[in-house]
Every structure is written in C-alpha cells, then in structure tokens.
Structure 1
Amino acid sequence: MDLKDYQHEVVVTDAGLPFKLFSFEGASGNYIRDKHWHRSIEIFAVWEGKLDFTLHDKKFPLSNGEFVIVNSNEVHSILAPNPNKTVVLQIPQDTFAEYFTDDQFIWFSHGDRESDHRVFTLLQEMFLIYTNGEEGNKLQVLSLYYELLYILVTKYRKFNVNEEIVKSNKQLKKLSSITRYMKDHYAEPLSLELMADQFNYSPSYLSRMFQKHAGINFKDYLLGIRLEHAVRELEETGGQIVDIALGNGFPNSKAFSNAFREKYGVLPSEYRKNN
C-alpha cells in the first residue's frame, strides 16, 4: 500500500510544463487514499481495472475507458483494491483564472457528456507521448493539453453552481492553512483546542468546520495523517514498531496498533511482514 504524506495535498507541476501527468500510485492495488483535497483540478482516467471514487458523499465507480474530474477543493477519497492502470492529470486552478466567477471560482461537471471519449483519448495520447522521451515531445503534449483545456471550459464548466458548493470551497481554503500546520506538526501532541487557539477559532466552530466541509472530524483527520506517515516507515525502514508509534504522535504502541488494525485490518507487524 502506497500512501501520500498528508491530507491537504500540495501539487507541483512537471518541469517545463504547466501541469503534472503521472501513473496513479495505487496501480498495484491494496490502496486506500483517505478524504483529502487540493487547489488543483485533477482528472483520473482508468485504462484497465477499476477504481472506487467518492466525491464528498457521492460514489463514482470507474472502470476501463472512464474518467472523473475532481474540482479544486473538492473533498475526495479513492479505493483501489485490485491492480489497475490509471493516468492522473493535475491542472493548477489558476490555469482557468480568465474563466473564474466573481467568487474566484470555477467548477466542472462530473456527469457523462458526448465529449467524454475525446477527453479520455487526449489523456491517453498525452501520457504515451510524454513518456516516450523523444525530442520535441513536449510541444506535441502541449498541443493536446490545450485542446483538453478548451473542452473542459466549453463542454464541462458549470455556470449554475449550488451556493453550498461555493461556500464549502471558501471554507476549505481556510482549512488548508490548518491542515498544512497539522502536516508539519503531526508528531507533536496536537489537539482541537490547541489548533483552535492557534488559528483564532473556538474549538466548537473548528470542529463543525471540519465535519461539515471536509466530511471528517478533527480527531480522525489527524489520525489519518499519523497513520499514513507510520505506514511509510513500516514499508521503508526497519525501525521498531514502538519507535514508529512514538515518532508519529501516538502515545504508545498499543494505541498505534489498535488504530492501525481498525483502518487496515491487520496489526503493524503483520502489515510489515506482508509488504
């Protein structure tokens, strides 16, 4: 299982290109990515296999030849229990600045459209050319990329967006600074009260903000960050489990083992043996 470092994900574009294009990290299966969000627009295109996407609380199962558009600051999670071949394109939100609403906002539809096949084909061609390595391939990839942007703006952009979505987007922008702090200090004894004081909120308000706009409570969100770091250490180091537990913010190895088993179904020692 390969997990990213934190819940509010920072997206960095590829060198010399205005986007990030890569193979999905859960391609080998046995993969869970908890609820998270980022400012970039993200497209997942499945070539082989299946993915189970959740956008907020709505399910979007994907199979061969299908894709999903994840909007900026849209809370999503991913389950890939089996091997798959999936390409991911991440586009910085500011790419669409010229098309923002007065709220500095843009939203793309998740629904089926006649343009879906062309979008999927463009993503395939972009990836194959980009990974080919031949001289001048960036120019060809860019030409396909700008065609894709044109289709997104003209065929997928939504003009009548639910006011609740706009409000949630604004709140998640505020939460992003909080989750960045949690990412940097996850190994420390953080609490809802401490974070509320740090960012000048009341604990009850911050708790409601997490639950309503991130779809997860503060405690579970922090636990997810700590577990993701711990999983990586289990995979990549030979450290003692008690040291991994303490080094990632757990009070003791028992608390770590209980939380780990509840999420992944096995004890840390079994997970390490299997991986």
Structure 2
Amino acid sequence: MELLKTYKSDGAAITFDELIYKIGSYHYNWHYELELIWLLEGKIEVNVNGEVCTLEEGDLYLINSNCGHATFAVIPESVAMRVHISPDFFLSQGIDLSKGKFHLNSSAEKKNPIYDELRYDLAQMQIFTLEGVSQFKMNALFYRITEKILDFFVLSQKESREFSLGQKRAFLDSAIEYIENNFRNELTLEQLAAQCNYSTSYLSKMFKTELGINFYEYLTRCRLQQALRSLAITDKKIGEISYETGFNDIKAFNKMFKKHFGTTPSDYRKQISPDLLITDQNFKNQLDEATFNSILEKIHVFVEQEKNQVYDQNPCEICNYKTYEKQYINLVSNLKHIVSDA
C-alpha cells in the first residue's frame, strides 16, 4: 500500500510530505528540502556527501538541504519513514539558516531526550495523516517537530550559504534540465552558460548560492546517479559504465565514486544482493499489505507506550543534558583553537 502523504496549509506557510518505504541499494539524490529519516525496521547505511553512517532500528538522521545522499539496506527489508521539510518554512518564520547546518544523528548521540519526543511526534504524524485530523491539530504537530529539529541547528561560518525562498532557484531550471539531458557528453560551464544565455560568472554564482555546490559538482552527481543504476541493474563492465555516464576515463570514475560513496564501483556492486534488487523494483512506490499492517501496528504500539512518558519527563534531565552538551561543544571548540594556534 502506498504511504506517501503530502500536506499543505497555505495560511500557516506549512508544507511537507512523509513516506514510509523499503530501502534497497543506493539511490543517489539531492534536493532543497531537509530530509528527516526515522528507521522503523532493520539496519541501513546513510551516505551523505561521502560520509557513511550506520543506523539501527529507531535511529533518526537529518540530511541538510542540497546534500548528495543515498541509503543502503545492510539488512534486507529495512523500512524507514522519511519527512521532507522545506527550509522556506523556517525562513518564513524569521529563522536564518544561512550561517550553519543541522547535526541530528541519534546513532552518534544516543541519550539525548529530545529524540524520544521527536519519535513520538513522527509516529503521531503518521497516525494523523491516516486519520485525517483537523488542520489546527496537524499544524500544531508540525510546529512541535520543527521546534525540536531547530535544537540541532549549529552555527558555523564554514557552512555558510544563502537561502532565498525559491525565487532565484527558478532561474536555474533550464540549466539543470540541460545538464540532466546532456551529462553523458563533454560539458563545460562555458557551454552551459551559452546555452542558457547567462554569463559564466552569474551562472557559477547561482549554482553555489542556490544549490550549495558548484556546476562541476552538480554535473558529477548526475553522472554518478546514472552510474549507480547501471551498476545495480546491468552486467556492464566498469569501464563501459564510466564511458556511458560521461567520465573521461575509468580512473576519474573510480576517484569520484570513492569520494562520494567511500568505496569503489566494483566493491559496491559486490554488495548488491538479489533481495536488494527486488526491493529496488518498488523503491518508494508501495509496501505490501503485510508490511503495511505490521509497521502501522508498531507505530500505534509505540505511541501508546510513549504518550505517558515523553511529555512527563523530569525537565531537570533535559536541562542537565543541554548543560553537559554545551560544555562538550565549548571544550571541542577550545581544543580546535589550541590546535590551530599551535
């Protein structure tokens, strides 16, 4: 059964979509929306900009805007819930996301009490979307979820970027479409600028400010996206896939693949089992009825178990946690200054 649910409230500038699906092999993508993952069953790897993290059942992970990412089922039949939230919502509420990034990863920080609250709210989101609750109730839940997510936003000059409520991104549509139709060929920034009637400097700036990456990184991502598909569903040789996806030679292909996924194309192909290929056939489309009912029952049980605990926690526990977390962050910052000054 299909579990993709899209919700929009024009009056409150709220829009999001959530999906429960089985995870298979890598499906590389990137998008403007923040992506929050809650692993409901199994064990998976999340690869974000070449950094791999292993999530076990119950773990939460947030992927920042325009970060290249892919997931891989370490245990077949792994099931996740993912929620897409546009940065535009935070901007519309007067929150500046341009000077940092989110660091939300429960596998690296097990004891943060906010994670329990966030899981409870996500479970409620799934129940609300199926039951069709009032707009007021859904909006209130969305504000609770985004408020908790903001607790994981960390200021950093190194992560500075621009967000523009989508107006400028529309100017890139023609450029992006051209890249996606021509990435197999030799393509330069100058060629693309001439095709779109932009100056190279303006086009280069738009890629960096609106997508957070430069033109060549976007081009490489398109090529790798297709290469992953070919590695999974064909028996073509690595060199042939390299040539067909626009890389100059197999050495360049291996280098970019290793940079983005932490492994070589041949080693990645060895990890793809028949079970994963079966899951890939219905990737993000639907769940079978048995899996749907099992996951829904698990969510209902989780809500019943947590509803009398999550919001009745001793507030001192949360305060103490935040105090220790702040001390730890300050310690790490001081150590970095000492090392850089040495």
Contact 1:66–1:120, Cα closer than 8 Å, also in 2: no
1:66 aligns with 2:66: no
Aligned CA distance change for structure 1 residues 85 and 214 (closer, same or farther; 3 Å)? farther
Question: Structure 2, unaligned stretches of length 5 or more?
Answer: 255-264, 282-342
Q: TM-score, normalization: structure 1? A: 0.60
1:158-184 per-position Cα deviation (integer Å, ceiling 9, x unaligned): 2x21x23215989xx79965434323x
- Could you tell me how far 1:66 is from its partner in structure 2? 0.7
Query: For the residues of structure 2 that align with 1:174 and 1:187, how far apart are their CA atoms?
Result: 20
Which of 83, 87, 94 pairs up with 2:88?
A: 94
Q: Is the 8 A contact 2:183 2:222 kept in 1?
A: no
Q: Do the aligned partners of 1:186 and 1:225 also contact (CA within 8 Å) in 2?
A: no
Q: 1:148 aligns with which of 142, 145, 148?
A: 145
Structure 1 segment 74-153 matched on structure 2, within 5 A: 74-81=67-74, 82-97=76-91, 98-101=93-96, 104=98, 107-111=101-105, 112=109, 113-131=112-130, 134-136=131-133, 139-153=136-150
SS in 1 for 2:128: helix
User: In the alignment, does 2:207 pair up with 1:224?
Assistant: no
* Residue of structure 2 equivalent to 1:5: none
Deviation of the 1:214 alpha carbon: 6.8
Compute the TM-score of the two structures, normalised by the length of structure 2.
0.50
State the superposition RMSD in angstroms. 4.5
Partner Cα distance (2:229, 2:15) in 1: 29
Match of 2:153 among 154, 157, 176: 157
Contact persistence 1:51–1:78 (CA under 8 A) = yes
1:59 Cα deviation after fit: 2.6
Question: Whose radius of gyration is greater, 1 or 2?
Answer: 2
In structure 1, the partner of 2:16 is 19
Is 1:74–1:169's contact at 8 Å kept on the other side of the alignment?
Answer: no
Checking the alignment, whether the CA contact within 8 Å between 1:100 and 1:106 is kept in structure 2 is: no
State the number of aligned residues. 222
Identity of aligned residues (%): 13
CA distance in 2, matches of 1:31, 1:47: 17
Letter of the 2:221 counterpart: Y
CA contact (8 A) 1:55 1:76 kept: yes
CA distance in 2, matches of 1:23, 1:104: 30
2:184 matched to 1:191? Answer: no
Cα-to-partner distance string for 1:58-94 (whole Å, 9 max, x where unaligned): 3321111111111222332322242212101111111
Unaligned runs of 5+ in 1: 1-11, 236-240
Tell me which protein shows more helix as a share of its residues.
2
- Cα 1:121–1:216 change in 2 (3 A) is farther
Specify which of 34, 41, 50 is matched with residue 48 of structure 1. Answer: 41
Residues 44 and 54 in structure 2, CA contact (< 8 A), matched pair in contact too: yes
Q: Tell which deviates more after alignment, 219-228 or 109-118.
A: 219-228
- Contact in 2 for aligned 1:130/1:138 (Cα 8 Å): no
Q: Give 1:95 deviation, angstroms.
A: 0.7
Post-superposition Cα deviations, 1:80-126, rounded to whole Å, max 9, x if no partner, equal 2422121011111111012433x756632225332011111211221
Moved more, 189-198 or 215-224: 215-224
- Larger mean CA deviation between 141-150 and 117-126 belongs to 141-150
Decide whether the 8 Å contact of 1:56 with 1:215 is kept in 2.
no
Letter in 1 for 2:41: E
Kept in 2: contact 1:53–1:79 (CA 8 A): yes
Counterpart Cα distance in 2 of 1:94 and 1:121: 24
Which SS does the other structure have where 1:74 is aligned? coil
